[in-house]
Amino acid sequence: MKRFFDAVVIGAGHAGVEAALAIARLGKTVLLTATQIETVAYMPCNPHIGGTGKGHLVREIDALGGEMGVNADKSLLQIKMLNSTKGPAVQSLRGQADKQAYHDCMLETIYNQERLTLEIGEVESVNVSDGTVSSVVFKGEEIDTTAVVVCAGVYMNARIIRGEEEYFEGPSKFARSEKLSKQLETLGVEFRRFKTGTPARIYRDSIDFSVMEKEDGEDSVYSFSHLTKVKLVEQLPCYLTYTNEETHNIIKENIDRAPMYNGAIKGTGPRYCPSIEDKVMRFYDKPRHQIFVEPESADSDLMYIQGLSSSMPRDVQEKMYHSIKGLEHCRFAKYAYAIEYDCIDPLQLKPSLECKKINGLFFAGQVNGSSGYEEAAAQGLIAGINAKRYLANEEPIILSRSDAYIGVLIDDLVTRGTNEPYRMMTARCEYRLTLRQDNADRRLTQIGRDFGLVDDYRYSVFTKKQEEWQRVSELLNNVSVKADIASAIVERAGEHPIIGSIKASELLKHNGVTYKDLLPLPELEGVDEEILMEVAVEIKYQGYLKKERAAIKEAQKMESQIIPEDLDYNKIVNLRLEARQKLSQIKPRTLGQAGRISGVSPADINVLIIELLKKKK
């Protein structure tokens, strides 16, 4: 008898596991497939979760009821708040994760999840009837299904390149996906080639750490998930060293053997994680580049050499690595390599991540042209939720650019597209002060609750925190601080003393005064430090936040104007030709999205407005 699942998720990397867990948790049956068991929630490149912009994504995934934050907290080796002195908007959490533990914990979660089945093998084709997904072929078996989420990462038609060597396999010699991209092409999905790379893994006992700079984690109060209560105590250090003139000379002398330079690689590489040969050639005069040496896992004897990604041949890699302080006698466990893979142009997707051409076919993660575990997980979560909503005949969930970094990420991909693997950056977010990592739960948990992924436990933690937030907020508005205490605080920050007593909330607004200055106040005894910090940010940055809120309100008016999907742009004579082409290709969902398409001018938008009015008549 033919098997049936409500949905099939192809690929069990960071996007696939979020998608599958979301679908199962929302009550539908799902088959999750992986080419090998080791690929499940595997971290093929760097051993961290989070980082600038990406830390925001993890917190948002968590606030919506996703798994990444919880799983990262279970496998942390070190955690740090980046940019702690530059302002609350650009602070991001970054954790060193134990790769083995991350994989093990996620696997356990998957096994324990009802309605979710994990099986090993390749999905060879997706079958479509009447433009709608009907079944998949998995290891020769036809399985009926209603929705498919493709989370194939870098595995489709993957090619590993290292100097003159070339292998047709996925990361770490894992089996690649051989057939799927070619089959999807016959359905009208368009593919292209992207490239990325990873540095070597080096045996720990062959590294001289004594000549490197030690980088400890912070004794911090942080965790990724709003649910995690146990904070990390013991932290494993990282180490910092540098390339030097000799390293650069080795690269320059051998540059004709680098596949990126001799034409062996044609895929588009990311500016966001260049290989060392790229860095040396593009910034020819820079005397040194940073190299971070990071543990892969507490139980492993391998170290990750961040900053030395390369596709040079093995002998050149050895010379390069051996020229670096502390790595003089290092032994290679795995050599660095570049990988080239099939991915789609995300302009083929709706903001729900469903393919415009095929109903019920969703795409998420690196296959959409993004880069990074967090970007993948964020898309996986949204694609999973929307696949379930597709099954249930419900409107898709679309987060806007003013709701979340996830909204910015997906809007950028499906509206502007990308010509290189896309990385999240805080610089991409126009409402940065509003979309902070600290308030991710206050922005999103209610939304997650409404569509059903936030369970009772998470919701009760959230509402309790909301109440405490409210209490602390009122407290700061009511507590008055005596002149001598207040003056001592502002004088420390280099300001003139204060005459008369002052409300704690007013005191916070002075330059240089932070929530930490308020901690010793007797009235604030017992207040949760993290909550105090969040409340303080809202008070301190009131003026700027107000300005952003006004801008958001303005943008929302454009976002609320929905454009019918069947609008024929070629029939609108007053649109310029370029606008007509772009609009026909992207089919924006709202006027706001239309306005962000490159090549669509404000005048074109005015023409669209008239068109919409004609439709309404």
Partner 1 sequence: MSIIAGISTPIGNGAISIVRMSGEGALEVALRFFTCKKLRNQEIMPNYMYLGTFSGSNFKDKCLFVYFKAPKTYTGEDLVEFHLHGGVTVTQKVLHTLLENGAKMSGNGEFTRRAFLNGKISLDEAEGVLGLINAESETEISASFSVMQGNVSKRIRPIADKLLSVISMLEAWFDYPEEMEDDINTDFFPTIRDIQSNLEKLLATANQGRMVRNGVSVALVGKPNVGKSSILNAFLREERAIVTDIPGTTRDTIAESVIYKGVRINLLDTAGIRKSNDIVEQKGIERSINAVKKADIILYILDGALGEEPTLDLVKEGARGKIYYVNNKIDKGNSNPNYINVSALTKEGIDELLELIIKEVGNKRMYGEMLTIDRHIDAVANALKSINNVLNNMGVSYDCMLVDLKDALQSLLEIDGGTASEKIIDDIFSRFCVGK
Q: Which residue ranges make up the site for partner 1 (CB under 8 A)?
A: 46, 52-53, 82-83, 86-90, 270-274, 279, 282-283, 286, 289-290, 292, 306-307, 309, 425-428, 430, 432-433, 511-512, 541, 544, 547-548, 550, 553-554, 557-558, 561, 574, 601-603, 605-607, 609-610, 613-614, 617
Minimum distance from residue 52 beta carbon to partner 1 (Å): 5
In the beta sheet, which residues pair with residue 127?
135
Please report how close the Cβ of residue 613 comes to partner 1 at its closest, in angstroms: 5
For the bound state, the minimum distance from the C-beta of residue 615 to partner 1, rounded and expressed in Å, comes to 10
Helix, strand counts (H, E) of the chain: 21, 22
The tokens for 216 are 């400890």
HSE-up (13 A, CA, CB side) for residue 361: 24
Q: How far is the CB of 46 from partner 1 (least distance, A)?
A: 7
3-state secondary structure 252-267: HHCHHHCHHHHCCCCC
Least Å distance between CB 418 and partner 1? 11
Q: Which of 52/368 has CB closer to partner 1?
A: 52
Least distance to partner 1, CB of residue 109, Å = 28
User: Based on CB atoms, which residue is closest to partner 1, 342 or 438?
Assistant: 438
The token pair that represents 456 in the structure block: 């009772």
Residue 113: phi, psi to the nearest 5? -85, 120
Nearer to partner 1, 392 or 562 (CB): 562
Return the number of other C-beta atoms located less than 10 Å from residue 562's C-beta.
12
CB 151 → partner 1: shortest distance, Å? Answer: 24
Listed as own residue / partner, the contacts of 472-476 with beta carbons closer than 8 Å and 24 or more positions apart are: 472/524, 472/527, 472/528, 472/531, 472/532, 472/535, 473/535, 473/538, 473/539, 475/504, 475/523, 475/524, 475/527, 476/503, 476/504, 476/505, 476/508, 476/518, 476/535, 476/536, 476/539
Are the C-beta atoms of 24 and 53 separated by less than 8 Å? no
Q: Pick the closer one to partner 1 by CB: 53 or 369.
A: 53
Residue type, 442: R
Nearer to partner 1 (CB atom), residue 214 or residue 471: 214
Crossing angle of helices 440-451 and 54-63, in 10° steps, is: 40
Nearer to partner 1, 7 or 97 (CB): 97
Give whichever of 87 and 313 is closer to partner 1, judged by the CB atom: 87
CB neighbour list of residue 503: distance below 8 Å, 6 or more residues apart: 476, 477, 478, 479, 480, 481
- CA 476/CA 483 separation, integer angstroms: 16
Question: Amino acid identity of 26?
Answer: L
Choice between 40 and 537, CB closer to partner 1? 537
Residue 601 beta carbon to partner 1: minimum distance, rounded to whole angstroms: 8
Other C-beta atoms lying within 10 Å of the C-beta of residue 158: 23
Count how many residues are written for the chain: 617
Min dist. Cβ of residue 65 to partner 1 (A): 27
CA 101/CA 34 separation, integer angstroms: 18
We find the least distance from the C-beta atom of residue 428 to partner 1, in angstroms, to be: 6
- Nearer to partner 1 by Cβ, of 137 and 533: the residue is 533
Q: Which is nearer to partner 1, 231 or 553 (CB)?
A: 553
The token duo for 119 is 């099986």
Instruction: Identify which of residues 436 and 449 has a Cβ nearer to partner 1 in the complex.
Output: 436
End-to-end CA distance of the chain: 53
Q: Compare residues 290 and 570 and give the one whose CB is closer to partner 1.
A: 290
Query: What ranges in 47-115 are assigned the alpha helix state H?
Result: 54-63, 68-74, 99-112
C-alpha to C-alpha distance for 373 and 49, rounded to whole angstroms: 7
Which tokens go with 30?
A: 């799902």
- Amino acid identity, position 67: E
Decide whether 233 or 613 has the Cβ nearer to partner 1: 613
In the complex, least distance from residue 58 CB atom to partner 1, rounded to whole angstroms: 16
Residue type at 54? K
Q: How far is the CB of 328 from partner 1 (least distance, A)?
A: 22
The nearest distance, CB 510 to partner 1, in angstroms, is: 9
Rounded to an integer, what distance in angstroms lies between the CA atom of residue 347 and that of residue 390? 20
